[in-house]
Structure 1
Amino acid sequence: MKKIRLGLFGAEDSIEIMESVVSRYAEFSYISISYWRDEEIVEKLTKQTNDVDMWLFSGQIPYGFAKKWAGITQPMFYVPSSGSSLYKTLLHITYNQKIPFDQLSFDTFHPTELERVFQESEIAPKPLYLKHYEEEIHTDEVVNYHHELWITGKTLAAVTCLKNAQHELNKLGVPAFRVLPTQAAIVSTLALILQTHETMHFKDTQIAVQMIEFDTFSSLTKENFSTDEIYKIEIKMTEKLLEYTKKISGSLKSAGPGRFAIFTTHGILREMTKEFTVVPDFAILQLAGHDAVTCGIGIGQTVYEAEINAGTALLHAKEFHKGSSMVVLDDKTIVGPLGQPEQITYGYAPEHLQSLSEQTSLSIATLSKLESILRKIGKIEINAHDLAQHMSIMPRSARRILTELESKGLAQVVGEENPHPRGRPRKIYQIKL
C-alpha cells in the first residue's frame, strides 16, 4: 500500500512529539519542518509543497498563516490544544510556583474549552485573561498581550502554546509556561487524517467528464477555406484527442461538430490540472492559437451527473472568454478559469444570494462570483478596474455591476484613487452583500 506522505510543521519541540507518534503508523511516511519566526512559515512551506500529500501543523498559528497564504492545495490539519497538557501545566504552576489561577493570562484556547478545564478541576475563579484567535495571528501580538497584563500588575505569569512567545516573554522578564501538544491529541488528529484520505480516495474514483469545444475555423485562412480542409482538421483533431485521451486513461466520444467528451476519473484530472489550478495539458494537441480550445470539466457520482456538470462548466467557460477552462464539482461549486491569476471559486446557486438577485438585475452567478472575489482579496472594497480583471469582463460591465449594487443600497462609494495622474479617478466601492 502506498504510504501517505505527511508534512509535519511546527516548533522544534512540538515536531519531536509529533514524530514520536507518527513513526508508529505504517500508513505514513513523513518529512519534518521546524520554524522559529512567523516570517519563515511561507518560505519554508513553499519549498516542500510538492513533496507531501497532507500537512499536520503543531498549532493554529502556522496553520493560520498557511491557510491565509493559500499556496497549499493539500488538506491541512493542526493539533488542537488539549486539556491533558494544560492540566499538567496548571499542576506545575500550582505546586511549584504557587501562582493563583486568576492571575494567569492564557492564549490560543477557546473560551469554552478553558472554562471547562477550570470547572472540571474545581478551580473557583473563571479564567480572566485569554487571547483567543481564529487562524493566523502574529506572535508579537500574543507577546504584547501577555506583557501588557504583566507590567500593569494584573497577572503574575503567562500560559502560552507558542514556543517563540514563551522565549520572548522570558526575555522581557515575564514568567511564561508552555503548553505542548499531547500524544493523545496527535493520535486523534491522525485518525481524522486517515479518514480524510479514505474519503479523498473515494472522490478520486468519481466520474469526470471533460467536454472540449474546438474552433475548427481558427486554423483556416482565406486561401485554404474549404469543406475538405475543415474535414482534414477535424480528422487531425480527433487523432490528437485520442492521444490525449490515452494519456489520461479516458474514453473519447464525439458530442457534435467540433465538440468532444472525454470520460475519465476525478483523481486523474485533479492531478493533471494540479488541483484544478492549471489548464489541462493540451500541448499534445499541437493546436495553433491559444483560444482554439474551450473546456468544461464536470465531476459527478454518475456518468449522467458528470456530463451535465461538464456542459455547465463549458457554458461558464464560454461566458468568461473563448479558450477558457472551467470546472463544476459534484457539490455544484464552480472553479476557474484554470491557469488564470484571477481564478475564483464560487457556488452555482447559493441560496443566500437568491433574494439579493431578486432585488437587483444581477444573476446569482454574478453575485456569487463577486462574493468569491471579495473573499479572495480579503476585503469588501473594490473598484471597477480590479473587478473587471478578476471577472474577465470589460470595465464598463464591472461599473454597471457596481452602480446597480449602489442603486439598491448594496454598495456605496467610500473613496477614489488615481493610479495615473492624468487618468480618470477610480471610485472605490464598499460592498454589503
Structure 2
Amino acid sequence: MTKIKMAVFARNHVMERIHDYIEYDQDVEIIPFVYTKTNETVELVKKAFMCDIYVFASSLSYLYAKEVIEKKRLPAIQVPFDEYMILSSFYRVKNEHNQQLSRISIDALDSRHVDEVLNELQIGGGEIYTYSFGVDEKTDLDNIFNYHKQLWYEGKTEFALTSIEEVEQMLKEAGIPTICMKIPQINIVHTIEKAKSIVSLNQSKSSQIVAGYVRLKNLDLIIKEKGELASKQLLLKLHQILLKFGHKTYASVLYNNDNQFAVFGTKGILDHITNHYRDFPLLKELEQAINAKVDIGFGLGLTAKQAENNAKLALEACSLDNDSNCYIVNERQDTIGPLGVKKDFNTSQLYHALIHKAKLNNELSYNFIDFIAIRNKEPFSSNDVASYYRVTKRSAERTINKLLSGEVIKVVGEEKPYLKGRPRKLFNLNQ
C-alpha cells in the first residue's frame, strides 16, 4: 500500500506530538510545515505539493489559509476546537492557576462550544465573556487582544483564556493573567484517523472518467459546398476511425443528433491522451482520412456528468480558430492544449534559469529541456519526470522542488488519478 502523504501545519511543539503519535504508523508519511506565526500558513500551503490531505493544528491557521484551500480545492481538515478542548482548559484554569470559572474572558472559534460546556457544568455565563472569532469576516489578532484587554481594564475580568498563542504573548506583555488552551491528545488522534479515512474514501472514489466530443468543423459549409450525401459519407468515415480508436483505448463511441460523436472511457483513453500531447495521432488520422477540419474536446471528471460538461468546454475552446484542434479540460476546469500542435519555447533562457536559479547540473538541465520539448510544453507531473529520467518518485520530487524554488516552473493545476491513487500536481514552464 502506498503511504498517505499528510501535510501538517503546526507549531513545533504540536508537530512533535503528532510525530510521536504516528511514529510507527506504516500507512502515513508526515510532511511537516512548522510556523511561528499563524498567518505564515498562507504561504506554507502554497509550498505543499503532491500531498493527499492538508491537516491544520489550529482553527486560526485553517482560517488564514482557507481562501487558498478553497481556490485550489484542497482536501483539508483541522484539529477540532470543541467542547472537550474547552473543558480541559477550564480544568487547567481552576486546578493549575487557582482561578474560579467566573470573571474570565475567552476567545473561541464558535461561542456555542463554550455555552454548551457552561450548560453541562451548570455554570451561569453572566461573568464569562466569549469572543467568537469564527464569525469575523477577517481574523484580526489585535481585535481579539483588545477584547480581552478592555474587559480587564474595565474590571470585569480577572483572567483571560485564549486559544491563540500570539494573543497569549500579547496579553502577558500587557500584564494580564492568561493561559493558552492546549490541544487534547484525543483531538490529535481523532484528526489523524479522520484524515486517513478521508484519503481512503477519496481514493476509492477517484476512478477518472473521460468524455470526449468529436465533430466536423464548419459542417454547414461542407453541406452547402459538397451536398448532404458527401457530408454523410464524411461522418461515416469519421465514425469508423473513432470506433477503431475506441477499440484501441477501451472506450465507447456514440453518434448523437448534433452531427457529432461522443466518446466515453477511463484508463485506456486517459493513458493515450497523456502520452500524445505533442503528436496527437487521432487528430492527424481524422484530417487525412476525410480531408476536412475536425474539433476534439476531452473532459475529465469523477462523474460522467462532470466529464461530459468539461468535454463541452473543451469543444468550445476548439472554436477559437479555423484549424483542427484538440483540447482537454480537467476536473478543475483547467484547459490543456491544443494537443498535436508544436509549441516553441526559449531554450537558452530555460537553460540559464535551470543552471542559475534551480541550481541543476548540466546533464539534468539538458535532459529537462529535452523533456519539455517532448512534452510539447504541456503540463507535467512528478510521475512524468520520474518516468522520463528513469528515477524514483522521491528523486523526481526533489528536482521538482528545485525547479519551483528557482521559479523555473509553476503549478498550473492537478489531475486526479484514474484508478486508486493520489491526485497529482501539474506543472509547466514559468515563461
Scaled by the length of structure 2, the TM-score of the pair is: 0.58
Q: 2:415 maps to what in 1?
A: none
CA contact (8 A) 1:294 1:322 kept: no
Uncovered stretches (5+) of structure 2, i.e. residues with no partner: 220-225, 285-293, 321-326, 337-431
Instruction: Write the letter of the residue equivalent to 1:131.
Output: Y
Instruction: Write the letter of the residue equivalent to 1:322.
Output: S
Alpha-carbon distance in structure 1 between the residues aligned to 2:104 and 2:132: 14
Alpha-carbon distance in structure 1 between the residues aligned to 2:128 and 2:244: 69
Report the number of matched residues. Answer: 309
Q: Does 1:285 align with 2:286?
A: no
Q: 1:119 maps to what in 2?
A: 119
SS of 1:25 mapped into structure 2 = coil
SS of 2:55 mapped into structure 1 = strand
CA contact (8 A) 1:104 1:129 kept: yes
Does 1 or 2 have the higher relative contact order (CA < 8 Å, sep 6+)? 2
Q: 2:319 maps to what in 1?
A: 322
Q: 1:338 maps to what in 2?
A: 334
Distance 1:317-1:13 versus aligned 2 partners, 3 A rule: same
Q: 1:63 maps to what in 2?
A: 62
What are the within-5 Å matches in structure 2 for residues 225-236 of structure 1? none
SS of 2:65 mapped into structure 1 = helix
Distance 1:296-1:93 versus aligned 2 partners, 3 A rule: closer
Q: 1:410 maps to what in 2?
A: none
Instruction: Write the letter of the residue equivalent to 1:140.
Output: D
CA contact (8 A) 1:10 1:58 kept: yes
Distance 1:54-1:309 versus aligned 2 partners, 3 A rule: closer
Instruction: Write the letter of the residue equivalent to 1:51.
Output: M
Distance 1:280-1:184 versus aligned 2 partners, 3 A rule: farther
Instruction: Write the letter of the residue equivalent to 1:42.
Output: V
**Deviations 1:72-97 (Å, cap 9, x if unpaired)?**
43310001124444334323322454
Distance 1:91-1:134 versus aligned 2 partners, 3 A rule: closer
Distance 1:284-1:138 versus aligned 2 partners, 3 A rule: farther
CA contact (8 A) 2:215 2:295 kept: yes
- Identity %, equivalent residues: 19
Alpha-carbon distance in structure 2 between the residues aligned to 1:32 and 1:126: 42
Alpha-carbon distance in structure 2 between the residues aligned to 1:114 and 1:7: 30
Q: 1:210 maps to what in 2?
A: 211
What are the within-5 Å matches in structure 2 for residues 224-263 of structure 1? 250-256=249-255, 259-263=261-265
Q: Does 1:46 align with 2:49?
A: no
Instruction: Write the letter of the residue equivalent to 1:294.
Output: G
SS of 2:105 mapped into structure 1 = strand
CA contact (8 A) 1:9 1:57 kept: yes
Q: 1:348 maps to what in 2?
A: none
Scaled by the length of structure 1, the TM-score of the pair is: 0.58
Instruction: Write the letter of the residue equivalent to 1:193.
Output: A
Q: 2:145 maps to what in 1?
A: 143
Q: 1:355 maps to what in 2?
A: none
Tell me how far 1:252 sits from its aligned partner: 3.2
Tell me how far 1:139 sits from its aligned partner: 2.7
Distance 1:18-1:30 versus aligned 2 partners, 3 A rule: same
CA contact (8 A) 1:252 1:262 kept: yes
Distance 1:26-1:325 versus aligned 2 partners, 3 A rule: same
Alpha-carbon distance in structure 2 between the residues aligned to 1:150 and 1:85: 24
Alpha-carbon distance in structure 1 between the residues aligned to 2:47 and 2:67: 17
Q: 1:377 maps to what in 2?
A: none
Q: 2:18 maps to what in 1?
A: 18
CA contact (8 A) 1:210 1:297 kept: yes
CA contact (8 A) 1:296 1:310 kept: yes
**Deviations 1:140-192 (Å, cap 9, x if unpaired)?**
33223222222332222211111222122212222221112111112222232
Instruction: Write the letter of the residue equivalent to 2:213.
Output: I
CA contact (8 A) 1:209 1:297 kept: yes
Q: Does 1:201 align with 2:197?
A: no
Distance 1:263-1:280 versus aligned 2 partners, 3 A rule: same
CA contact (8 A) 2:300 2:329 kept: yes
CA contact (8 A) 2:296 2:318 kept: no
Tell me how far 1:57 sits from its aligned partner: 0.5
What are the within-5 Å matches in structure 2 for residues 339-378 of structure 1? 339=335
SS of 1:322 mapped into structure 2 = helix
RMSD (Å) for aligned C-alpha atoms: 4.5
Tell me how far 1:281 sits from its aligned partner: 7.7
Distance 1:211-1:29 versus aligned 2 partners, 3 A rule: same
CA contact (8 A) 1:86 1:179 kept: yes
Tell me how far 1:4 sits from its aligned partner: 0.7
SS of 1:210 mapped into structure 2 = strand
Alpha-carbon distance in structure 2 between the residues aligned to 1:102 and 1:112: 17
Q: Does 1:34 align with 2:34?
A: yes
CA contact (8 A) 1:211 1:262 kept: yes
Distance 1:63-1:88 versus aligned 2 partners, 3 A rule: same
Q: 2:6 maps to what in 1?
A: 6
Distance 1:5-1:315 versus aligned 2 partners, 3 A rule: closer
Alpha-carbon distance in structure 1 between the residues aligned to 2:38 and 2:196: 28
Distance 1:325-1:22 versus aligned 2 partners, 3 A rule: same
Tell me how far 1:38 sits from its aligned partner: 4.1
Distance 1:320-1:154 versus aligned 2 partners, 3 A rule: farther
SS of 2:21 mapped into structure 1 = helix
Instruction: Write the letter of the residue equivalent to 2:202.
Output: M
Uncovered stretches (5+) of structure 1, i.e. residues with no partner: 219-224, 274-278, 301-305, 328-334, 341-433
